[in-house]
Structures are given as structure tokens and as C-alpha cells.
A and B are shown apart, each in its own frame.
Chain A
Amino acid sequence: MGFKIFVARAEVRRRRIALFGLALMIGVSGSVVIAAVAGARRTSTALDRFLAASNTSDLYLEIDSLGDGIEPASVFSDLAEVEGVRAVAPQKFFFVDVGSEFDFGVRASPESRWLAEFDTPRVLHGRLPRDADEVALNEEAVAQLDLTIGDTLSGPTFDNAEFECLMAGGGCDIVGNGPELHLEVVGITRLPEDLNTDPSQNNPAALASSAFYDRYSATVGGWDRAAIVDLDPSAREDVVTGAIHGSVPFDTVLLIGSARQIQDTTDRSLDVLVVAILVFAVVAAVAGAFVAAQSITRQVAATAADLVALGSLGCTRRERAVILTLSLLPAAALGSIMAVLVAVAASAWFPFGLAGRAEPEPGIAIDGTVLLTGVGTIAASVALVALVVAWRCSRPTRSAATRRAGGVGSFRRLGVPVVPAAGARFAFDRGRGRGAVPARTAMTAAVLAFAGVIGSAAVTASGDRLARTPERWGHTWDLGPLDFGSLNEDSSYAGTREEALAALDAIADDDRLAAAAVLARATAELDGAEVPSVSLDVRSGSLDLSIVQGRAPTTAGEVALGRQTLDDLGMRIGDRVSAAPAYGGAADDRPARLVVVGRVVFPEGNEPGDGALFTPEGLDAHRRSEGEQGLVVSVTPGVDLDAAVAFLEDHGFSASAYAFATPPSQVSDLHAIRSVPLALGLFFGLLGTLSLAHVVLVTSRRRRHELGVLQALGLRPAQVRAIPPWQATAIVAVGAAIGIPCGVAVGRWVWIRIANGIGVANDLAVPLRWTAALAAVALALAIAVGSVSGRLAVRNRPADALRTE
């Protein structure tokens, strides 16, 4: 081994700058992958760690019905005696009129351990309330009420009697007999439930102390039929739940849920984020490995010229390969170290988005397992690639087949001037002997870079467009659905149905409304499976659900399905599906065979890809549930939305905050991870730039003899300086010509899979401006990189370059 290390050391001394460049490339690629994998792990555990850090309670109780004469407080106080229960914190939501359009409640409990020992929120600013006149707000409340620490939350309240009357359905004087509250905001907090990505669940809220509860519970009305239960660590949730059910009076019904279940939507959103980051890591690893392997190949090829001498001195092929590999190990080691250091620094950016909000310990984190595995994998991979390439380069050269060089002449015959022709030759012809530099690897890296950047940009642009165009996720109207009751004529809502339809028809032709329709929902049974179904009864104007393929049904014998439903039923457009008759129909009613005529994206209330669209007659013929209906309207362009809301409310239709377009959680989740494809695109761009710089610099150095010959033939130094920029431009041009269409194709393939997985419209947004900008930036980089190389190339006199050896 002695002489191999002896030679390898000399080689490292000689090529230290190039090896540093290789280490840099390995470090950049490795750091991105390691940081992403560690980030994904941290993201996947962020919620669990948040729950653990806040010592989240185990059960959430809600009184569904209360026996006569029984007070909620007594129900909850009895639960403290149940074995396995460590603490019960009854909850009261004290309603305060803060002048907003949403209901706002201050949440407090008589249990002083609540917030202090369990359900402890993360305090973002300030502190938890202690006194009776203090309150802490969540971020949603801060944003909607425009309050911060030191401000005062004020508003009138109901007393308990008024509140009970409200809950009973009204019919009494509600004047606000409770005290006016003035509460100092002392903190901004975040609980796990504040992470909920379902907009309908993300409410502004305030937390107050047990002192507040003690002072105001008797005078301020509020909803007090819920409690939080914290269990002993050793208690089994199912056993305690059973015991709780058994301990309440027989005529009192408790709904008991696991506090963890509240986090299901958040869990799902985090899963999407984790998957996105892991996909990023895999793609970055493959791309980085590819580009690094190319750089290693170029590096070994540059060293291979000494192989003749080593062979003449009696080195076997294996020994030559080992020497070449050993000379690259310092680059592998340095690259691995760089990767680890940068990955640790980059850990401060993880987790981000929703997971970042859940992370209880933001900042730098060291994931030893990932770091060690990453270092080992990088070092081993580089060594393996180096060994393979070195083995190939070490084979004895036998009969030297003469190869016709492409030559400047090939381009000259096309009328290309000498300097660009020489640059193109450097780009496309690897050269010979000591001056040989692999050319195809540079082209491949350029194609990969362009494809990666454009593909990532296309996916990002498509996601952005999806988020800002509601019709792509099924919301094809401006307002609605505004609820007006059941589909059943004999339902208790039946009286309002006719009135509602009459009121709708009275306003449908108003100039302020471009279209109005009744959106009905129910469940149908298709091929034995329960499918959430809708129909749209257009009363005026033109309104449709989002039909992304085929058409909407026009008769009761037709149906259109969502993407997921098509997959679940194994159907395609044109197939026939069996639809069970409506529930409660005639005994001899048979299932009908309906033709699938289109693919639909469903609005909120459904998963975007899950459902069936019928005609109104078709839904009536096949619905298997009571169903419900609501009004949806499109507002005439130019008409103010608030004015339209006021107009509808004047005619008996109430538009709550949820009547406005709200993207489904899957679309919000997708938008939340837009930085991932962006980062991937940047990574591809960086890799491509490093690879281009490496090949241009290596080529100028390796082929300085040719440059010397060109100078000897009369090219001025300025012309020789221009050859590397032309080389870089040629590489970039080929990369763009092949890579951009490939990127669009890859981006389309990826986007279709993402969109189809959610069930939304899957048309790709081709980022033309991004593409033009990328081409311009790439050209500028090519010229810059080539210019640096050109200056280095003419630093020596031609005579030095023309010296043999």
C-alpha cells in the first residue's frame, strides 16, 4: 500500500484546487439531501413533540343531553373520582361581543392546573394570564381583532339567563345584561388545535385563568358543556372511557373523543409536507449523485494521463485504480464534512410551514442518525464511483483506433466564425490524450439542470394557479352554499323549502346576480358503494360544476364522477354504473344503469375527487339519505360582493363567513409546500451552474495546448478569451433545447399525478416567463463562467502551453 499512498498524496498536492471544487460539489449536494432527510424526520415528529411538550390532555368530553335538574358542573366533578383520571378541567366559553362577524369566546376553567400543568400552550410572546382581568390570545384572534400585548380586549356580554335562552332557540329579550369586560392582553399563545388546517375549525380564541372563571362564571353567560380530562400515564384510554360512561346519570349523554383525533387534519397536512420533503430529498440525491459522478469522471480522466507512466513503471491495473481512488478520498472526506456542517446550519430552516408552527424547539437541531448515515453514504458512494471510474480508466490501451476529430472545420463549413467554432468544438469534442475531457457529461448535466428547474417551476406555477382559481377546486360560484334546508318534503324543514324556492325565484333575475342555482347534496349508492352526491338546479344564468373531462349529465340516466370515485369504482368515462333506487321508493324499484359522462371536481362539502354529479331528477331518483340543499350564486362582474351579500340577506338568505370560497385542506396543504419544488428548482440550478463551471475550467486547463496552437496560428488573446464563453454557451444551448421540453413533460407528469390524487383540475401551467428568465440567466451565467475561465486560459504565454509536457 505504501507506494499507492505515496503517489496518491502527490496527486492530491498537484490537483488540490480541482479536488476542492469536487468537494464543494459533493458538499452542496450532500448537505441538501441530509438537511432534507433530517428535516423530514423533524417534520414528521413535530406535532407529536408539540403535544408532548404541552402535555396535551387525553379526552375531550361534551354533554350531548343533560338529565333533568342536573348541572354540567356536577357531572364533571363526579368524573374526577373515576379510576385513571388525574384531572378534569370543565371548560366554559364566555361569549364576548367584540364587534366582529364571528362568535368570540374567552375560554377558562375552574381547574387551576389546566394550562399550567396540562394543555400548556406554547407562549409565543408575553405570558399566560394569571389575574382575573388578563387574557391570552391565539394568533387568529390577534390577526382578526388587530390586538397585541398590552392592548385591551373589551366588549359587552350576555348573562347566564340570556345565554340559556339563546341556546334554547330565542324567544326572549336579549339585551346584553352581562358585565362589560375589559381584559388586558398579556400573551400570545398557540395550542395544538390552533394548527388545524381546516379553515372552518381555525377560530380566533382567548384563554383566561381560573381566577377569571371564579370571578365571572356566575355573571357572564357562555357555553359550559365541555370538559378536558387528563389521565394517569398508566391508564388505558378505552378503559377509562368506559368507566366515565358508566359514572354519569342514565339520562345524561356524554360524547367522548380522544384529544388526538382533533389533530387528524393536521396530521394529514403534515404527512403531505413530509412526503414532499422526502421526494425532494430523493430527487436531489439522484441529481446530486449524477452530477458528482460526472465531476469525478472528469477528475479521474484528467489524472489518467499519468497512468501511462505508472504502467511503464510496473503498476498493475488494480494498483493504478487504487491510486486514482485514493487521490479522490480527500475530496470525499472534505465534501462529507462540508455536507454535515451545512446541513446542521440549514436545520434552523426546518421544519417550516405548518410543522414549523408545531415545532416546540425551533432552531438548529442535530440529528445524529441522519448525519452519520449521510456522511457514511456520501463517502462510500464517492469512493465506489471513483473506484469504478478509475478501474475503467486504468485499462491498458491496446490498439489505438484513430478517431476522426470533429474539428473546428466541421463548424467552419457551416460558416460559423473561428472563435464560436472553437468554443463549440470544446463543448462537443472531448479531445485526445492528455487533453481529453468528457464532453457528454457536461451536456447531460445541463439537460438535467434545465429539466429540473423547469419541471419544478411548472409544478409550482400549477399549484399557485390552483390555489387562486376556485373553479379548479370545484368552487364555481361567488357565494354559497347558503343553507335552506332538507330535500325531504315531509321534513321539519319542509315549510321553509317552498318559501326558500319562492324567495330564490323572486331574486334570481336581479341584475346583481349573474346566475343562481340550488345545490343539493345527498348520498347515493353506486355499484354497492356509498357515494356523496350532488345536483345543481340552475334557476337563472349559467352555472356548472368544474367539469375537467367529458361533460355534465343532462338526463336522469347519466352521471359524472370525481377522480377518486372513478378509481374506487374502476370506472372510466363511457362505462355504466349501477345506481340503487332512492330510499323509501317502491318495493319493486330496480337499480338503474347510468352512463358515466364526465369527470368532475366537487366543491367544499365533498373531497374534491370524491362524489357523483346527477341531474336534479337523477339525484331525487337515487338518493339514499335525507339530504340538504343550499343556494349558490354568481355575482355580476363589477358588483361589490358585500353589496350582494347585503341584498341576499335582505331577502332572507344568511351568508356566513363560510359562504365565501375557501380552498379545501388538500389545496391549502399543497400551497403550503410550494417552497419545496421551488427549493428543488434552485438546487438543480445550483448543481447545473457548478457542473458548468467545473467542466469549463477543467477544459481550459486540459486543452491549453490547443489554445496555444490557436494563438500561434494568429488568434488574439481577446479571441482566445472568448472561446470558453462560447463553449459554455453551446453547453447551455443544448441543455435548454433538450432540457426545457423534458422539464415541461416531467412537470406535466408530476402535476397530473398530484392533481389527480387530490381530484382537482390537472391542467399544467407552463411558466413561460420563468422559462424565458431561466434562459436569460443561464446565458448570463455561461458567459460569466466562461469569461473567468477565458482569463485564466490566457494568463500563460503561448510558448508555455506549447511546450510538450
Chain B
Amino acid sequence: MTLTEADASPVVVARGVRKTFEAELAPVRALRGVDLDVAAAEFIAIMGPSGCGKSTLLNLIAGLDTADEGEIILAGEQVTGKSDDDLARMRRRHIGIVFQFFNLLEGMTVLENVVLPAMIAGTKRKPAETRARDLLDLLGLGDKASDVPAVLSGGQRQRLAIARALANEPTLLLADEPTGALDSDGGREVLELFRRLHSDGQTILMVTHNDEVAAAADRIVLMKDGRIDDDGLARASTSTPSSTSI
């Protein structure tokens, strides 16, 4: 899918976003005025060296942190300026997050981890379980439903995290280094999943420092020193992401 074919309403609009962290020795200016648009059904990879602000940008879009300046709009709703509770409710409706180190609830089974987001969003247990089982089957974890995350391999844990992120059919799927903790096979599995989701119309914003992983995306945004160095639009209009492989 090319940008010209994308939905006219962007899923994410970020304008002039700034974020500074107060550290013991000196303040850390993580973001220094970031502008970014993410169109519907777009698959964007954000790349850059360590400390360039990639994960910070992701956290701000997800409402897990608040920007010092600037504006973020997600699915037509203002993110900046919302209260923590409103941000949480927004995440239920619009955001699915996949973390580098999974952040699964170890005290719950595989099935329960996927059921939970739907229950948080207000879905009754039975329909939530039905959807969870469907997702697990889709992601090849159907036979692991009653296991605990601790017994899964890295790739399986990340697939579980992806299933959890998809439980509420989010507007936007955010992934922070989703293959960072995986071996090459696991990474391949996850990437293939992301391609499949994207082809089904899922909007994906992924942070990575791996060129091969980033090549799977429609557009690669390069960040450096808290700014977007290259928004990738020029390259995206000429490249064919579907032909890129790992």
C-alpha cells in the first residue's frame, strides 16, 4: 500500500513535540520539536541511534508519558492535555502496545493475558475469551492457552504480547523494538506477523535499530538527537515495502 492510497485522515498527528527529562547531572532533551504524521494502514519504522528519542516518542503517542510542548492527536482525539485516566481510556480504545521485553503478566496464563485487555475495555468474560482464543489460534499459540508465559520461548512470548495488543482491535499498534530480545527465527516470526497485520489494514508504528527489520515497513523515519532527520516520505513514495524481506 502506498501513501497515495492511504486514508486521508491521519491516525497520528504530532506537531512540535518536545520532551525533557530532569537528570541528576544535566537535563536530557529527549525530543526537540518533532513533527510526524502517520496515515491509516501505514507501517512506519522509526530508526536512530540509542538515545535519539525513538522510545520517548512512542511513549508520548501511547499516552504513557506527557509532552512538555507540542501537540499529539490520535484518531482525531487530542492526546496532549488529557488526564491520566482519560489517557488510559484512550489506550483501551485505540492503542495496542508491544514491548521489547514483553511486559506480560507472569501470574496469568497465556489465555488470561489476552482476555485481560478486553475485560478492561468492558467486554464480558465469555466473549473476551472467545476472541482471545481466536487470536491465539491465529498467532499459533492455541495449544498454549493454559500455560504461563514463563514456559514460552522468546518468539512465543512476543507473539503472545502481539495477541494481547490486538485484543481490542486497536486503531494503532505500537511496537518498541519488538524483535530486540529475540533470536533470528523469533524475529522472523514477529516480522511476518506484522506484515500480515499490515496487509489486513492495521496501522503500525514500530521503533527499531535493526535495518533488516525496518525494511519491512512502508516508511522509515530517521531520528537523531531528538529530531526527525528524515521523515522517509520521499523514499516511501518510490519504494515497494512488500518486496522487502529479511
Chain A residues whose C-beta falls within 8 Å of the C-beta of B234 in the assembled complex: none
A312 within 8 A of B: yes
Chain A residues whose C-beta falls within 8 Å of the C-beta of B89 in the assembled complex: 314, 316
- Looking at A104-112, A143-151, A303-311, the stretch in contact with chain B turns out to be A303-311
Scan A390-408; emit 1 where CB is below 8 A from any B CB, else 0.
Answer: 0000001011111110000
Q: Are A3 and B119 in contact (CB-based, < 8 A)? A: yes
Distance of B28 from chain A, by nearest CB (Å):
9
Q: Are A804 and B120 in contact (CB-based, < 8 A)? A: no
Known A-B contacts A312-B62, A314-B120; A402 and B24 likewise in contact (beta carbons under 8 Å): yes
The distance in angstroms between the C-alpha atoms of A401 and B27, with both chains bound, is 9
Known A-B contacts A311-B88, A804-B181; A401 and B108 likewise in contact (beta carbons under 8 Å): no
B135 within 8 A of A: no
Q: Which of B62, B88, B105, B107 makes the CB contact (< 8 A) with A316?
A: B88
Scan B89-127; emit 1 where CB is below 8 A from any A CB, else 0.
Answer: 111100101010111111110001001110111001100
Q: Are A10 and B108 in contact (CB-based, < 8 A)? A: yes
Q: Which of B24, B105, B115, B124 makes the CB contact (< 8 A) with A401?
A: B24
Known A-B contacts A312-B91, A396-B84, A804-B181; A401 and B102 likewise in contact (beta carbons under 8 Å): no
Known A-B contacts A312-B99, A316-B84; A399 and B22 likewise in contact (beta carbons under 8 Å): yes
Q: Which of B66, B91, B106 makes the CB contact (< 8 A) with A14?
A: B106
Chain B residues whose C-beta falls within 8 Å of the C-beta of A804 in the assembled complex: 101, 181
Distance of B160 from chain A, by nearest CB (Å):
12
Q: Which B-chain residue is minimally distant from A317 (CB atoms)? A: B84
The distance in angstroms between the C-alpha atoms of A518 and B118, with both chains bound, is 95
Q: Are A10 and B65 in contact (CB-based, < 8 A)? A: no
Scan A294-333; emit 1 where CB is below 8 A from any B CB, else 0.
Answer: 0000000000001011111111111100000000000000
Chain A residues whose C-beta falls within 8 Å of the C-beta of B119 in the assembled complex: 2-3, 6
B8 within 8 A of A: no
Scan A360-403; emit 1 where CB is below 8 A from any B CB, else 0.
Answer: 00000000000000000000000000000000000010111111
From residue 263 to 316 of chain A, which have CB atoms closer than 8 A to chain B?
A: 306, 308-316
Q: Which of A306, A310, A403, A805 makes the CB contact (< 8 A) with B102?
A: A805
B151 within 8 A of A: no
Q: Are A315 and B88 in contact (CB-based, < 8 A)? A: yes
Distance of B82 from chain A, by nearest CB (Å):
12
Q: Are A805 and B104 in contact (CB-based, < 8 A)? A: yes
The distance in angstroms between the C-alpha atoms of A486 and B90, with both chains bound, is 98
A745 within 8 A of B: no
Q: Which of B21, B62, B85, B105 makes the CB contact (< 8 A) with A7?
A: B105
Known A-B contacts A399-B22, A401-B23; A3 and B116 likewise in contact (beta carbons under 8 Å): yes
B64 within 8 A of A: yes
Q: Are B101 and A805 in contact (CB-based, < 8 A)? A: yes
Q: Which B-chain residue is minimally distant from A8 (CB atoms)? A: B107
B interface bracket (residues with beta carbon within 8 Å of A): 35 or more
Distance of B141 from chain A, by nearest CB (Å):
17
From residue 394 to 425 of chain A, which have CB atoms closer than 8 A to chain B?
A: 396, 398-404
Known A-B contacts A3-B116, A402-B24; A314 and B104 likewise in contact (beta carbons under 8 Å): no
The distance in angstroms between the C-alpha atoms of A403 and B22, with both chains bound, is 11
Q: Are A401 and B22 in contact (CB-based, < 8 A)? A: yes
The distance in angstroms between the C-alpha atoms of A399 and B66, with both chains bound, is 9
Q: Are B24 and A3 in contact (CB-based, < 8 A)? A: no
Q: Are A11 and B22 in contact (CB-based, < 8 A)? A: no
The distance in angstroms between the C-alpha atoms of A312 and B91, with both chains bound, is 7
Q: Which A-chain residue is minimally distant from B117 (CB atoms)? A: A313
Q: Which B-chain residue is minimally distant from A327 (CB atoms)? A: B107
Q: Are B99 and A404 in contact (CB-based, < 8 A)? A: no
Known A-B contacts A312-B91, A313-B117, A402-B24; A13 and B85 likewise in contact (beta carbons under 8 Å): no
The distance in angstroms between the C-alpha atoms of A474 and B66, with both chains bound, is 75
Chain B residues whose C-beta falls within 8 Å of the C-beta of A15 in the assembled complex: 107
Distance of B148 from chain A, by nearest CB (Å):
9
Distance of B120 from chain A, by nearest CB (Å):
5
Q: Are A3 and B120 in contact (CB-based, < 8 A)? A: yes
Q: Which B-chain residue is minimally distant from A306 (CB atoms)? A: B105
Distance of B116 from chain A, by nearest CB (Å):
6
Chain B residues whose C-beta falls within 8 Å of the C-beta of A10 in the assembled complex: 105, 107-108, 112
Q: Are A404 and B24 in contact (CB-based, < 8 A)? A: yes
Distance of A514 from chain B, by nearest CB (Å):
74
Q: Are A399 and B108 in contact (CB-based, < 8 A)? A: no
Chain A residues whose C-beta falls within 8 Å of the C-beta of B23 in the assembled complex: 401-402
Chain A residues whose C-beta falls within 8 Å of the C-beta of B102 in the assembled complex: 805
The distance in angstroms between the C-alpha atoms of A528 and B64, with both chains bound, is 78
Q: Which B-chain residue is minimally distant from A303 (CB atoms)? A: B107
The distance in angstroms between the C-alpha atoms of A315 and B119, with both chains bound, is 10
Q: Are B107 and A11 in contact (CB-based, < 8 A)? A: yes
The distance in angstroms between the C-alpha atoms of A137 and B91, with both chains bound, is 84
Chain A residues whose C-beta falls within 8 Å of the C-beta of B95 in the assembled complex: 314
Q: Which of A6, A308, A315, A403 makes the CB contact (< 8 A) with B103?
A: A308
From residue 1 to 23 of chain A, which have CB atoms closer than 8 A to chain B?
A: 2-3, 6-7, 10-11, 13-15
Chain B residues whose C-beta falls within 8 Å of the C-beta of A308 in the assembled complex: 103
Chain B residues whose C-beta falls within 8 Å of the C-beta of A13 in the assembled complex: 107
The distance in angstroms between the C-alpha atoms of A402 and B27, with both chains bound, is 10
Distance of A317 from chain B, by nearest CB (Å):
6
Chain B residues whose C-beta falls within 8 Å of the C-beta of A396 in the assembled complex: 64-65, 84
Q: Which A-chain residue is minimally distant from B85 (CB atoms)? A: A316
Chain A residues whose C-beta falls within 8 Å of the C-beta of B104 in the assembled complex: 309, 805
Chain B residues whose C-beta falls within 8 Å of the C-beta of A315 in the assembled complex: 88, 120
Distance of B161 from chain A, by nearest CB (Å):
10
Q: Which B-chain residue is minimally distant from A402 (CB atoms)? A: B23
Q: Are B120 and A312 in contact (CB-based, < 8 A)? A: no
Chain B residues whose C-beta falls within 8 Å of the C-beta of A7 in the assembled complex: 105, 108, 116
Q: Are B103 and A309 in contact (CB-based, < 8 A)? A: yes
Q: Which A-chain residue is minimally distant from B19 (CB atoms)? A: A399
The distance in angstroms between the C-alpha atoms of A306 and B164, with both chains bound, is 15
Q: Are B21 and A400 in contact (CB-based, < 8 A)? A: yes
Scan B23-44; emit 1 where CB is below 8 A from any A CB, else 0.
Answer: 1110000000000000000000
Distance of A304 from chain B, by nearest CB (Å):
13
Q: Which of A310, A312, A318, A401 makes the CB contact (< 8 A) with B85?
A: A318
The distance in angstroms between the C-alpha atoms of A404 and B25, with both chains bound, is 10
The distance in angstroms between the C-alpha atoms of A316 and B21, with both chains bound, is 23
The distance in angstroms between the C-alpha atoms of A2 and B108, with both chains bound, is 15
Distance of A215 from chain B, by nearest CB (Å):
84
The distance in angstroms between the C-alpha atoms of A319 and B85, with both chains bound, is 9
Q: Are A314 and B117 in contact (CB-based, < 8 A)? A: yes
Q: Are B66 and A398 in contact (CB-based, < 8 A)? A: yes
Chain B residues whose C-beta falls within 8 Å of the C-beta of A400 in the assembled complex: 21
Q: Which B-chain residue is minimally distant from A314 (CB atoms)? A: B92
Chain A residues whose C-beta falls within 8 Å of the C-beta of B115 in the assembled complex: 6
Distance of B73 from chain A, by nearest CB (Å):
19
Chain A residues whose C-beta falls within 8 Å of the C-beta of B88 in the assembled complex: 311, 314-317, 319
Q: Are A2 and B125 in contact (CB-based, < 8 A)? A: yes
The distance in angstroms between the C-alpha atoms of A399 and B85, with both chains bound, is 18
Chain A residues whose C-beta falls within 8 Å of the C-beta of B21 in the assembled complex: 399-401
The distance in angstroms between the C-alpha atoms of A619 and B116, with both chains bound, is 89
Q: Which A-chain residue is minimally distant from B97 (CB atoms)? A: A312
Interface centre among A13, A314, A318, A399 (most CB of B within 10 A): A314
Q: Which B-chain residue is minimally distant from A308 (CB atoms)? A: B103
Q: Are B103 and A312 in contact (CB-based, < 8 A)? A: yes
Q: Which B-chain residue is minimally distant from A400 (CB atoms)? A: B21
The distance in angstroms between the C-alpha atoms of A11 and B105, with both chains bound, is 9
The distance in angstroms between the C-alpha atoms of A750 and B36, with both chains bound, is 69
Q: Are A313 and B24 in contact (CB-based, < 8 A)? A: no
Q: Which A-chain residue is minimally distant from B125 (CB atoms)? A: A2
> Besides A3-B119, A318-B85, A401-B21, 8 other CB < 8 A contacts?
A6-B115, A6-B125, A7-B105, A306-B107, A312-B103, A314-B91, A396-B84, A805-B104
16 contacts between A and B (CB under 8 A): A2-B125, A6-B115, A6-B125, A7-B105, A306-B107, A311-B64, A312-B97, A313-B120, A314-B89, A314-B92, A315-B88, A316-B85, A401-B21, A401-B24, A402-B23, A805-B101
**Interface of A toward B, CB cutoff 8 Å:** 2-3, 6-7, 10-11, 13-15, 306, 308-319, 396, 398-404, 804-805
Query: 4 tightest CB-CB pairs across the interface, nearest first?
Result: A14-B107, A314-B92, A3-B119, A314-B91
